[in-house]
């Protein structure tokens, strides 16, 4: 209940953003209730459990949400259709998330969860991850087809996130929300922090990384043919929450930094 109340209050003042970014934001007044009933940043569980919490915190009920890599619709299994109804699309239904059939600045929220590992972007179908008895994995996590053009290996994963993020930026309204699912990976024996690479690139598009959620798998990952372990086996993934702003920024710049820089400059310019 407390969580619901604070969400409604946030909506009244600034539907899609972060109050620290609101130029008219007044000084914080002490108040509210003491509660442990809050959305937290890390959960052990699955996507279907975490996704509704992210919507409740960051997206007003009734918003126009396009899930552009809808897949099996797992994210939506525990979302009440009374609160949110997704506009679902996927390459499997003929819509490429890099070329969406929506007008510029027409949506409140975009959800993006493309194939997240380089094994799902191979040039030959027989080399794609999830062969034989793991065929269900391939069907759930990709469209099951080989990638014929563009960069290879981990760079193919990034290319998809970068192009789809650019397209999401086009169709989102100012202060619209982009929810991105991703997982880091070790590719060619090299640690690739996909979530950092995405945050840095999206910052250049004007996306403010407003929140980050870690989802930890409840079961232990199984490794076959392990000789010597070099990197920690990944058992976590991320939901990143971005807000579209009109000003490209560096990922490290804090939203309040620009205002602070401007007022410092003004102080220095005073006679």
Structure tokens that stand for 57 in this block: 């915190």
| CA dist., res. 266 & res. 264, Å (int) | 5
Contacts of 199 (CB under 8 A, 6+ apart): 209, 240, 251
Footprint of ligand SAM (CB under 6 A): 68-69, 71-75, 90-92, 96-98, 113-115, 141-143
Residue with Cβ nearer ligand SAM (99 or 189): 99
Residue with Cβ nearer ligand SAM (144 or 206): 144
Q: Whose CB is nearest to ligand SAM?
A: 71
| CA dist., res. 101 & res. 137, Å (int) | 28
Q: State the sign of the Cα–Cα–Cα–Cα dihedral 245, 183, 151, 121.
A: negative
Residue with Cβ nearer ligand SAM (16 or 70): 70
CB of 214 to ligand SAM, least distance (A): 17
Read off φ and ψ for residue 111, nearest 5 degrees. -115, 130
In the three-class reduction of DSSP (H, G, I as helix; E, B as strand; rest coil), residue 190 is classed as strand
CB of 147 to ligand SAM, least distance (A): 9
CB of 73 to ligand SAM, least distance (A): 5
Half-sphere exposure of 46 (CA within 13 A, CB side): 7
Residue with Cβ nearer ligand SAM (55 or 97): 97
Length of the chain: 271
Evaluate whether 114 touches 164 at the Cβ level (below 8 Å). Answer: yes
CB of 146 to ligand SAM, least distance (A): 12
Residue with Cβ nearer ligand SAM (60 or 130): 130
CB of 198 to ligand SAM, least distance (A): 15
């Amino acid at each position: 209940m407390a969580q619901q109340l604070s969400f409604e209050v946030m909506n009244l003042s600034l539907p899609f953003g972060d109050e620290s970014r609101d130029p008219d934001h007044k000084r914080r007044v002490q108040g509210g209730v003491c509660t442990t009933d809050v959305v937290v940043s890390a959960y052990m569980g699955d996507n279907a459990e975490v996704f509704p919490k992210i919507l409740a915190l960051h997206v007003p009920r009734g918003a126009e949400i396009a899930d552009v890599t809808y897949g099996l619709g797992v994210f939506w299994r525990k979302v009440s259709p009374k609160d949110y109804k997704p506009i679902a699309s996927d390459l499997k239904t003929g819509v490429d998330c890099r070329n969406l059939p929506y007008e510029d600045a027409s949506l409140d929220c975009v959800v993006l969860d493309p194939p997240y590992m380089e094994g799902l972007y191979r040039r030959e179908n027989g080399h794609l991850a999830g062969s034989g008895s793991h065929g269900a994995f391939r069907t759930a996590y990709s469209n099951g087809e080989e990638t014929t053009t563009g960069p290879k290996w981990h760079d193919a994963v990034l290319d998809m996130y970068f192009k789809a993020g650019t397209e999401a930026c086009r169709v989102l309204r100012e202060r619209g929300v982009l929810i991105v699912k991703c997982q880091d990976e070790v590719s060619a024996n090299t640690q690739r922090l996909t979530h950092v690479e995405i945050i840095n690139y999206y910052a250049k598009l004007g996306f403010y990384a407003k929140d980050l959620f870690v989802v930890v798998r409840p079961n232990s990952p199984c490794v076959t043919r392990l000789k010597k372990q070099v990197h920690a086996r990944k058992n976590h993934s991320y939901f990143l929450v971005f807000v579209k702003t009109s000003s490209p920024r560096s990922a490290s710049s804090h939203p309040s930094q620009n205002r602070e820089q401007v007022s410092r400059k003004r102080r220095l310019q005073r006679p």
